[in-house]
Amino acid sequence: MDEQEEQTEVHPGIIADFGTLQPKSLIFEEGMSRLFGRHAASIKRAVERGELPQPIRMFGKNAWTVEAVTGHISARLGEAAKERERFGQKVRQLSP
C-alpha cells in the first residue's frame, strides 16, 4: 500500500495533497483528476456545474492554480452560508 492509499484510509474524503501545494502552483486536468480521485470527464462536468472554476488553456491543456480553486470553493461556501441564513430567517418568519 502506498502512502496516498494509506492516508486515504486514515482520513477518507480528505484531499491532503492539495493543501501541500503552493497557491500559485499550476495544476493540469490530469493532476486535478488525481487530486480529487475522479476521471477527467468528471472534472469537466464539475466545471460545467460550477463546482470548479473555469480553467485556463496552457500548452493546449486545461489548467488551474491552487489559488483559483481554493478561492472558488471559499466563495461557494460563503454563498451556501448566506443561503442557509436566508432560509433560517424565512423559517423563523413563518413559524408561529
Q: How far is CA 26 from CA 30, 38, 96, in A?
A: 11, 18, 53
In this prediction, residue 52 carries a pLDDT of 97
Please tell me what DSSP assigns to residue 37: T
What is the structure's pLDDT at 48?
Answer: 97
Per-residue confidence in pLDDT tens, the chain, 96 aa:
555 555 555 566 778 788 888 999 999 999 999 999 999 999 999 999 999 999 999 999 999 999 999 999 999 999 999 999 999 888 888 887
Rounded to two decimals, what is the model's pTM? Answer: 0.75
pLDDT at 5: 55
d(CA 15, CA 31): 12
List the domains of the chain with CATH numbers. Answer: 16-94 (1.10.1660)
Q: Which helix (H) or strand (E) holds 57?
A: strand 56-58
Alpha helices for the chain (secondary structure H): 3-10, 16-19, 29-36, 40-48, 66-94
Please give the pLDDT value at position 19. 84
Contact of 90 with 83, CB cutoff 8 Å: no
Whether the CB-CB separation of 64 and 52 falls below 8 Å is answered with yes
pLDDT of residue 81: 93
Q: What is the pLDDT of residue 42?
A: 97
